[in-house]
Amino acid sequence: MTLVKEILPVKLDRSMKRGHRAGAFGIEILFPGVTLGQGDSGIGAIGRIDHARIGPGGFIAMHPHRDDEILTYMRAGTMLHRDTVGNEEALTKTRLMLMNAGHTFQHEEKMPGTEDIECLQIFIRPRDPDLEPMVQFHDFPEEVSLDEWRLIAGPKGEAPLELRAAAWVHDSHLSAGGSLALPDAPVSGATRLLYVFAGRASVGTTTLVEGESLVLDDKAQVIEAEVDTDLVLFTTDTAAPVFKGGMFSGNVLSR
């Protein structure tokens, strides 16, 4: 279902998230479509976003995924990843990972050292179910993209990490007092979700703080940072095919 553009923009504050904590592992879960009245917990290919904080020594045991595209967006610490397709890799602020789970996939994560982990686990919906599983890693030259947008993930041939969906993920570190226009939408009629990972910023008359987000249409917008602010921008073509039955990315409202 295509979003009714007249309802946008919509602010999603932290009260709309679901919290979960078990030992050293804590997450805030955002289902971005829940408040939009469309009968879908996601928005197009954007299924779910987990803001995770994990203490040193934390361990997430081997667990399955199916029909999820999972981008691990690290912002603090080092995470050791192991999976059932043979990868054992360290993830950091410059080495990111995209797990294209497909029809069969499992992984586990360990938190070595003494530093806390903070990251987003971003669950994107694939265009089709039962795709072949694969895992991608990419080394970025810098931890942040200062005052400009950096494309992290997108459709094949468009970004360093390939999403098997009509979806795009950008990030930027916006300096205090600075402003930044949204990048041009990759498709006409796209819907966008602006997430404030850390800091405080405004779009028009709407102010967003850490953990809050704003659902926007494809029109031009300017973001102004009151303090140093880390931004993540999600874009989806809501008219494109999408599979809503993924294990974590799927539409929870229909279950």
Q: What is the pLDDT of residues 11-23, one digit of tens each?
A: 999 889 988 766 6
Using pLDDT thresholds of 50, 70 and 90, give the confidence band for residue 38.
confident
| Per-residue pLDDT tens digits for 192-202 | 999 999 999 99
| Per-residue pLDDT tens digits for 140-189 | 999 999 999 999 999 999 999 999 999 999 999 999 999 999 999 999 99
Paired with 46 in beta bridges are 43, 124
Number of structural domains (the chain) is: 1
User: What pLDDT is attached to residue 29?
Assistant: 95
Q: How far apart are CA 171 and CA 228, in angstroms?
A: 14
The parent domain of residue 192 ranges over 7-254
User: What pLDDT is attached to residue 23?
Assistant: 63
User: What pLDDT is attached to residue 158?
Assistant: 97
Q: How far apart are CA 227 and CA 201, in angstroms?
A: 7
In terms of average pLDDT, the best of 100-109, 114-123, 148-157 is: 148-157
User: CB within 8 A of 141, min separation 6: which ones?
Assistant: 94
With a cut of 80, say whether residue 56 has pLDDT above it.
no
User: What pLDDT is attached to residue 22?
Assistant: 64
Exposed (0-12), middle (13-18) or buried (19+): which is 253, by Cβ within 10 Å? middle
| Structural Rg of the chain based on CA atoms | 17
The answer to whether the CB of 196 falls within 8 A of the CB of 208 is yes
Percent of the chain with pLDDT over 70: 96
**Mean pLDDT calculated for residue range 208-229:** 97
Smallest Cα–Cα separation from 230: which of 156, 164, 168, 143?
143
The answer to whether the CB of 46 falls within 8 A of the CB of 193 is yes
Smallest Cα–Cα separation from 170: which of 187, 185, 150?
150
Mean per-residue pLDDT of the chain: 92
Q: Could you give the residue ranges of the DSSP H alpha helices within 13-86? A: none
The answer to whether position 167 is within a domain reads yes
Three-state SS for 253? helix
Smallest Cα–Cα separation from 223: which of 156, 178, 165?
178
In terms of average pLDDT, the best of 25-39, 83-97, 122-136 is: 122-136
Residue 173: CA atoms inside 13 Å, Cβ hemisphere, count?
8
Give one word for 147, left, alpha or beta, with left for phi > 0 and alpha for psi -120 to 50.
Answer: left
The answer to whether position 201 is within a domain reads yes
The answer to whether position 107 is within a domain reads yes
The answer to whether position 117 is within a domain reads yes
The answer to whether the CB of 233 falls within 8 A of the CB of 170 is yes
User: What pLDDT is attached to residue 132?
Assistant: 94
Output the domain CATH number for residue 86.
2.60.120.10
Question: Residues 62-83, buried b or exposed e (16+ Cβ, 10 A)?
Answer: eeebbbbbbbbbbbebbbebeb
Smallest Cα–Cα separation from 98: which of 185, 38, 161, 165?
161
DSSP code of residue 252: G
Exposed (0-12), middle (13-18) or buried (19+): which is 125, by Cβ within 10 Å? buried
Using pLDDT thresholds of 50, 70 and 90, give the confidence band for residue 1.
very low
Phi, psi of 5 (to 5 degrees): -65, -25
**Mean pLDDT calculated for residue range 114-132:** 93
User: What pLDDT is attached to residue 180?
Assistant: 98
